Amino acid sequence: MSRAGFVRRGLGIVGAVALALTVTACAPAGIGDVEAPPQADAALGDDTQAQLTAAVERAMASTGSGGAIVGVWVPWAGEWVQAFGSNPDGTAVSADDTFKAGPVTRAMTCDVLFGLAADGVVEVDDPVTDWVNGFPDAPVVTLGDLCDGTSGVGRYQPPLQARWETNPTRPWTPHELVAYGLAAGAPSADRVYGESDTGYVLLGLALERASGRTAADLFDTYVFSPLEMTASSLPGRSVDLGLHGTQSVLTAEGAVDCATATDLTALSTSAGFTSSGVVTDAADLGRYARALATGLRPYDDESRFASPLPVAEGVPNWYTVRGGTYQAGTLVGQYGSVPGYQTVAFADRDSGLTVVAVLNNSRASAEAVRVLGWQLAAIASKAPATAGETAPPAGLPWTPEQMDGDLASVAICPLP
């Protein structure tokens, strides 16, 4: 079938009848709480805090963000969780404010996949067509392909962005999102990495139907409850958020007006579903990132990160992607943006060093928050050990100064 034929078929099946879905009810086995990894009970040193603060303020300036929340946990040195700036209504940002996790949700959707696989409900190599009728039989796309981002399915955010901005409170069904994504790009047999929000929505739908449970319930079972992420949820509609999300407006000439931003906090979380719909806070997100990277849960498996793929042509060979996460040197995590927010969460597989950050302006490229996360990690990796602890050798393949240059290359507003 031609691509045009598939698009018409996809729109007819997905858009009109919202996908006929195969349901198999099978409750997963319960899992206990996960013990928190060791963490020095101390504050990071003043010099380290000053460097971290400068990095955050530079990132805020470069993206036009009026607010930010950052968390850094260094097992041998201490921790630092800090809020910056204010919301559009003038209220100060608080370190325990909730915000949208954005594409970090994708790693969590893969957690559910591997958790259900460990419980015998699905196989990672199950074809999507085992659980979702109306998806093409060829090329064969597996649940693992959706998790790895190798399905070739298109993205739904670009065609919907303008509609979200003009009518943010409008609720969206996962089937609507899938319809737009299939219209944007058909499945491919190439098996190269390509970002696809639609793929993670499809994965969420398949896991719902395989388990007979809602995605929100599955996230609670396999992600939130084991890690005691009490501030986190996968809501199906808009919720009150402490950190307001914004986006700088464009002038008539198309330039960025760094002094004026639209408040997009009200954008329904249903527009993200299992691709970017999680709401969380910095403490929860930090706990999650470290558990993900260090394999604390019983269904965390090394095979998830095996045979990683290059993120893109020309990137360093230490920057790869697999299992719903990016790997950068020894760091494992996710990053990206949704309207109003840019979010990053990475942790070191060897040491447990963890960094999370959210900027509340989505106009700039999401590479800005990725650069911030890596810069925070580089600074934190050199933090001196507190009494009774020993710092491991620093092994990240970049320096804070290099990240300064990378930030300047993606800045949309004047840097200090």
- Tell me the CATH number at 123: 3.40.710.10
Residue 262 lies in a domain: yes
Whether residue 414 contacts residue 75, with contact meaning beta carbons closer than 8 Å, is answered with no
pLDDT, tens digit, for every residue of 143-200? Answer: 999 999 999 999 999 999 999 999 999 999 999 999 999 999 999 989 899 999 999 9
pLDDT value of position 134: 83
Closest CA to 254 of 363, 359, 341: 363
Instruction: Please name the amino acid found at residue 389.
Output: E
pLDDT, tens digit, for every residue of 61-100? Answer: 999 999 999 999 999 999 999 999 999 999 999 999 999 9
Residue 147 lies in a domain: yes
How far apart (Å, rounded) are the C-alpha atoms in residues 29 and 23? Answer: 18
Read off φ and ψ for residue 286, nearest 5 degrees.
-65, -45
Instruction: Please name the amino acid found at residue 326.
Output: Y
Sign, Cα dihedral of 322, 328, 333, 336: negative
Cis link prior to 139 (omega < 30° from 0)?
Answer: yes
Residue 143 lies in a domain: yes
Residue 376 lies in a domain: yes
Strands (E), 303-415: 309-310, 319-322, 325-328, 331-338, 341-348, 354-359
The structural domain count of the chain equals 1
pLDDT per residue, tens digit, the chain (416 aa), is 333 332 323 333 333 323 333 333 333 444 556 777 789 999 999 999 999 999 999 999 999 999 999 999 999 999 999 999 999 999 999 999 999 999 999 999 999 999 999 999 999 999 999 999 888 888 999 999 999 999 999 999 999 999 999 999 999 999 999 999 999 999 998 989 999 999 999 999 999 999 999 999 999 999 999 999 999 999 988 789 999 999 999 999 999 999 999 999 999 999 999 999 999 999 999 999 999 999 988 888 888 999 999 999 999 999 999 999 999 999 999 999 999 999 999 999 999 999 999 999 999 999 999 999 999 999 999 999 999 999 998 789 999 999 999 999 999 999 98
pLDDT value of position 13: 32
Structural domain of 325: 3-23+39-410
Residues pairing with 205 in the sheet:
none
